[in-house]
Amino acid sequence: MRKFSFTKMNGAGNDFIILDEEKNPGLSLDSALIQKLCDRRFGIGADGLMTIADAKDSDFRMTYYNSDGSTGSLCGNGSRCALMYFYTNRQNRNKSLRFDSLDKHYKGDILNSMDVRFYLSNPECLKLKFMIKAAGQLIKASFINTGSPHIVINISDVLIDEKNLSGYWSDLASFPVFRLGKEIRMHEDFQPEGANVNFYSLKDGKIFIRTFERGVEDETFACGTGAAATAIVSSILDDLKTPATLVTKAGKILTVDFMRTDERIENVTLSGPAETNFNGTITI
């Protein structure tokens, strides 16, 4: 029997379990335990889990795990929640914080009691307007790594019926995110790790976005690195102005800002809400 003290948080609907090593001395996790804690029926339930620990050269160290127990990629909304958690729970009054994750240094700002700005590393591997075969058709897609690998697709480039070449999607609410996202996520072009898949539409200067996330293997209510990826791609292909406003599946707002010179992208930030749902203990 093991007892854990935890905090449940969400960033724009993307939800996480936070385990603080200060409150859980001797904390030891494995993939099976992470899956159990993140299970929405037999555990606490979350898209992912983070541990918070002391760091030598930063305010703290954050380790992120997907709900399937995998790790190795950046989580933008998780990073914003980790920043808010540390500011709120570690008696820290400095609103500009630095933390380590995946052997890299990151920083963020507490903007107010609700919102956090997170500074991402410069994106890599930008590839625009290539064709990918899925759902019985060739679909125009783009790729960029914003700390995690992301495919970005405007739903207006997807046929509703592959046999009808004149009808394209315009309604994101009814778009088959799970079916198409699952197929593209494990597409042979992105093996062996696969990629996250973002579908978006533009309305009134805003990006409406839905994301199928690897590691969760389902659609999530928001994805921070996916929001950054989609904003960058849309700024180039749709001439979208920055800062970009994105509306998540949860109906929450994320703001992505960056500097763009041709296709060179720098100083990427992700801002939005980071809320505590509840605190608790669980015995496994």
Mind telling me the catalytic residues? 75, 223
Instruction: For the beta carbon of residue 218, count every other beta carbon within 10 angstroms.
Output: 15
Hey, what are 141's tokens? Answer: 């897609």
Among left, alpha and beta (phi > 0; psi -120 to 50; other), residue 189 is alpha
30 contacts 237 by C-beta, under 8 angstroms: no
Provide DSSP, the chain: --EEEEEEEEETTEEEEEEETTTSTT----HHHHHHHH-TTTSS--SEEEEEE--SSSSEEEEEEETTS---S--HHHHHHHHHHHHHHTT---SEEEEEETTEEEEEEE-SSSEEEEEPPPPEEEEEEEEEEETTEEEEEEEEESSSEEEEEEGGGSBSSTT-TT-B---GGGS-HHHHHHHHHT-GGGTTT--EEEEEEEETTEEEEEEEETTTTEEES--HHHHHHHHHHHHHHS---SSEEEE-TTS-EEEEEEEEETTEEEEEEEEEE-EEEEEEEEE-
